[in-house]
Amino acid sequence: KLVTKCFSKYWELMQRNKAYYDALVWGIKHVDRQVCQLALGSLQAFLYNLARNPALVELYCPSHYLPMLTDVLVVMTDTLHKPLFEMQVNVLQFLVDMATSDAEVRLSPNQPPGVDNTKFLHDHLEQLLATSFQTLTPASLEAFLVGLLNCRGEELRHHMRDFLVSLASFQSQDNDVLFATEGDGKQSPKSKAEATRAQIPGLQKAPTDADLMDIFKGLNLKDEDDLDLG
pLDDT 10s digits, 118-134: 999 999 999 999 999 98
Residue whose C-alpha is closest to residue 129's, from 163, 105, 101:
163
The reported pTM is 0.76
- Structural domain contains residue 105: yes
Please name the residues in contact with 219: beta carbons below 8 A apart, sequence gap of 6 or more. Answer: 19, 22, 23, 26
- Structural domain contains residue 204: no
pLDDT > 90 in the chain, percent:
49
Residues in the chain: 230
Looking at residue 104, its pLDDT comes to 82
Higher pLDDT, 194 or 49: 49
Looking at residue 7, its pLDDT comes to 83
Looking at residue 2, its pLDDT comes to 62
> With bands split at pLDDT 50, 70 and 90, how would you rate the model's confidence at 199?
very low
pLDDT > 70 in the chain, percent:
77
CB atoms within 10 A of CB 67: 11
> With bands split at pLDDT 50, 70 and 90, how would you rate the model's confidence at 210?
low
Q: What CATH number has the domain bearing residue 91?
A: 1.25.10.10
- Structural domain contains residue 206: no
- Structural domain contains residue 136: yes
- Structural domain contains residue 149: yes
- Structural domain contains residue 85: yes
pLDDT per position as a tens digit, 30-61: 989 999 999 999 999 999 989 888 899 999 99
- Structural domain contains residue 9: yes
Identify the domain containing residue 8 by its residue range.
2-173
The three-class DSSP label of residue 18 is coil
Q: Domain tally for the chain? A: 1
- Structural domain contains residue 228: no
